[in-house]
Amino acid sequence: MNTIINTQLNHRSYRSYTSKKIEPEKLDAVIKASQAAPSWINGQQVSIIAVFDDQRKKRLSELVGNQAYVAEAPVFLIFCADFYRAQLAGEVHGKTLEAIDDVDALLVGATDVGLAMSNAITAAESLDLGTVPIGGIRKNPLEVIELLELPKHVIPIAGLCVGYPSEDPGLKPRLPKEAIYHEESYQTNVAALIESYDQSMSAYMHKRTNGAQSTSWTERVSSFYEKPYYTSIAQMLEKQGFTCKNIKE
């Protein structure tokens, strides 16, 4: 194994940080690593907003569901799917970008964000920084858009806390490779693998919480997806110009 793969295999989410500031050159390296990620048609449909201000971080920590570590981290990065620059490109050449009204634009933007954030996480961890992605940035998206002054055709997809960790949460077990890796065609006979993984996750949670919780993977996932959890997404998309006309038609 090389150092890059070792860094990736030892990934964990950190939710507690020291007060130490991140050196500007380290943050610059993280952002440049994000920029180096592949993107659809080299459209680079991603923008990253770094928030350092304590009051703004505090407000964001409330908007994402009262996650205190958003306020505690020295910097909070918001990764946005961005077609604003594409719109400007269309104006330069007198073109109307009808593809932005297609649902595929959302898939492109979200995929580009995922690739960029993955690069950022690996880069940060290689520099002894810790991170935790925050999907809750979509919990109150209209307020986030207003706070960050996002123009039309830009939507927040995920946040990322970055800082020096103050504690190690341990390595969270993953599903067996056989449950997620398929050759030639999808294999549906994974129930036994999931059952085994449930036991591993329950043991991990019991240890991590000093016996307070023993939640299994199936318990958590089924509870989370039982009902829609971010109810303003459709309103956000409409407001920001992502009409998804092909679905409505």
| Answer CATH for 1-171 from 3.40.50.300, 3.30.420.40, 3.40.109.10, 3.40.50.620 | 3.40.109.10
Q: Please count the other Cβ atoms lying within 10 Å of the Cβ belonging to residue 182.
A: 11
The C-alpha angle with vertex 108 and arms to 102 and 111, in degrees rounded to 5, equals 145
* pLDDT given for residue 248 in this prediction: 62
Token couple for 198: 């449930």
Which of 117, 157, 107, 110 has its CA nearest to residue 137?
Answer: 157
> Is 174 in contact with 13 (CB distance < 8 Å)?
no
pLDDT of residue 244: 84
How far apart, in whole angstroms, are the C-alpha atoms of residue 34 and residue 118?
8
Q: What is the pTM of this model?
A: 0.94
| Domain segments of the chain as ranges | 1-171, 172-226
Q: What is the mean pLDDT of the chain?
A: 95
CA dist., res. 181 & res. 65, Å (int): 33
pLDDT in tens, 177-218: 999 999 999 999 999 999 999 999 999 999 888 899 999 999
Q: Quick: pLDDT tens for 97-129.
A: 998 889 999 999 999 999 999 999 999 999 999
The torsion angles phi and psi of 239, rounded to 5 degrees, stand at -65, -40
Mean pLDDT of 125-150: 98
